């Protein structure tokens, strides 16, 4: 026998399982609240609040002194997703674009234009709101907006590649893996893990100087001295970002319990350090060894997958659809060439891929896809089968680069 309330609960639960509901956060919150009220049999219980202090006594009398208990038992439905609906002040076009932010063909360049160079701030706030993390993790929304604004402004606009648009792109890439590639379900990631992934992606290249670790080490830069030539930029990015976070107006984790705050910092450090390319082959080997014959089973496994998703999100542009792959390739190569020009002026050995007079971009991109992109996503596919879409695009883009090189040679 099925009661009407059970049937209603089944209908509401089926709505939550639909893919589109994730992009209607306020409606999702409404449905979840309705389910709670029906399950707890509180549908006829009333929350009464006196508008004037002098009426409180009468209200308490009317409900037999149960006002305070009733208010504690039934949570007031607060639309936490809409605390700061940042996109509203830019118009509905941004909200429409954000509805596609789970897709691998998301156009971050158009998003940057439409948001008037606020893509990192808006994308990050949107995802934290989408997963209701401000309320669940006790993140201070106002302080987070101050924090992410300072982070966004700290990315160098004159960098061809390592700028705020790249950071926003990595945030969106990570969301694609969490959502579309089902990492949350497959790896049993909790809300805390999701928050770490989103925020780590946002800060991972903060204050990037536009040159790589080799340049800093070879020039005895103060950062190389400070970090003993080990993951120089990666250590710098995460340390600088936490320095910003701990400023009074930016400390959005101030209300988080001490142990959780330490864990948040530890995991963010781990994910940002995982973007050091010097670790690439070691990390791929470790990942393959761990997951070739078994799935994700514990906290250590989850962290390993989160770090690999971070690395894949960071370098994944060659596995985007061709028009994005091509644009990102030109941006990163221009930044490399700018470094090579500096090295030439300083009389240093020009770093690999940084000599504009000898590097052939299509050839370099084909090599990068074969040596780094295909192996990375093939390895990640062991745990997240849906990244086979990335592998498909990478293979297609390799053919596009071959065609480009052939056309250049013909001319």
Whole-angstrom Cα distance, residue 36 to residue 243? 40
Please report where in the chains the tokens 């950062």 appear, as a residue.
223
Sorted by sequence, the CB contacts under 8 Å of residue 394 that are 6+ apart come out as: 318, 319, 369, 373, 374, 377
Sorted by sequence, the CB contacts under 8 Å of residue 361 that are 6+ apart come out as: 329, 330, 333
Sorted by sequence, the CB contacts under 8 Å of residue 187 that are 6+ apart come out as: 296, 301, 302, 305, 306, 383
DSSP state of 279: G
| Token digits of residue 365 | 């991109």
Q: Burial code of 147-186, b = ≥16 C-beta within 10 A, e = fewer?
A: bbebbbebbbeebbbbbbbbbbbbbbbbbbbbbbbebbee
Residue 393 near residue 321 (C-beta atoms within 8 A): yes
Q: Is 164 a known ligand-binding residue?
A: yes
Strands (E), 253-388: none
Q: Is 365 a known ligand-binding residue?
A: yes
Whole-angstrom Cα distance, residue 103 to residue 121? 19
CA-wise closest residue to 137 among 198, 56, 180: 198
Q: Is 355 a known ligand-binding residue?
A: no
Q: Is 390 left (phi over 0), alpha (psi -120 to 50) or beta?
A: alpha
Q: Is 205 a known ligand-binding residue?
A: yes
CB neighbours (10 Å) of residue 11? 10
Q: Is 66 a known ligand-binding residue?
A: no
156 included as an active-site residue: no
Whole-angstrom Cα distance, residue 90 to residue 115? 7
CA-wise closest residue to 274 among 371, 164, 380: 380
Sorted by sequence, the CB contacts under 8 Å of residue 101 that are 6+ apart come out as: 123, 126, 127, 172, 175
Q: Which of 24, 126, 156, 162 is catalytic?
A: 162
CB neighbours (10 Å) of residue 136? 15
CB neighbours (10 Å) of residue 377? 23
Binding-site positions: 162-166, 204-205, 314, 365
Binding residues for AMP: 162-166, 205, 314, 365
Q: Indicate which residues carry an active-site annotation.
A: 162
């Amino acid at each position: 026998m099925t009661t009407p309330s059970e049937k209603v609960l089944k209908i509401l639960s089926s709505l939550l399982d639909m893919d589109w509901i994730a992009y209607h956060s306020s409606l999702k919150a409404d449905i979840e609240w309705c389910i709670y009220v029906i399950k707890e049999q509180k549908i006829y219980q009333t929350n009464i609040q006196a508008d004037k202090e002098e009426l409180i006594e009468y209200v308490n009398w009317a409900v037999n002194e149960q006002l305070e208990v009733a208010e504690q038992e039934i949570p007031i439905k607060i639309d936490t997703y809409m605390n700061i609906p940042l996109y509203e002040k830019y118009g509905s076009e941004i909200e429409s674009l954000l509805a596609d932010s789970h897709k691998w063909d998301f156009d971050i360049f158009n998003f940057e234009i439409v948001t008037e160079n606020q893509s990192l701030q808006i994308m990050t706030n949107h995802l934290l709101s989408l997963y209701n993390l401000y309320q669940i993790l006790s993140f201070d929304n106002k302080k987070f907006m101050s924090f992410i604004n300072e982070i966004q402004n700290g990315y160098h606009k004159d960098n061809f590649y390592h700028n705020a648009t790249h950071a926003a792109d990595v945030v969106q890439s990570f969301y694609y893996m969490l959502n579309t590639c089902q990492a949350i379900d497959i790896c049993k990631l909790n809300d805390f893990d999701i928050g770490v992934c989103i925020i780590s992606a946002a800060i991972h290249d903060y204050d990037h100087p536009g040159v790589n670790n080799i340049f800093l080490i070879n020039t005895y830069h103060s950062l190389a001295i400070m970090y003993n030539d080990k993951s120089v930029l990666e250590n710098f990015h995460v340390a600088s970002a936490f320095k910003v976070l701990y400023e009074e107006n930016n400390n959005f984790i101030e209300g988080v319990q001490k142990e959780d705050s330490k864990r948040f910092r530890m995991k963010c450090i781990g994910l940002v350090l995982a973007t050091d390319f010097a670790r690439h082959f070691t990390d791929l080997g470790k990942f393959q060894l761990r997951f070739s014959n078994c799935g994700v089973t514990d906290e250590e496994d989850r962290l390993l997958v989160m770090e690999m998703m971070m690395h894949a999100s960071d370098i994944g542009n060659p596995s985007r659809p061709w028009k994005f792959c091509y644009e990102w390739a030109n941006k990163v190569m221009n930044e490399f060439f700018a470094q090579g020009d500096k090295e030439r002026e300083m009389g240093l050995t020009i770093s690999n891929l940084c000599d504009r007079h000898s590097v052939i971009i299509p050839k370099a991109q084909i090599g990068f896809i074969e040596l780094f992109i295909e192996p990375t996503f093939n390895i990640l596919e062991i745990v997240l089968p849906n990244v086979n879409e990335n592998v498909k695009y990478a293979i297609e883009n390799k053919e596009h680069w071959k065609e480009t090189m052939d056309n250049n040679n013909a001319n």
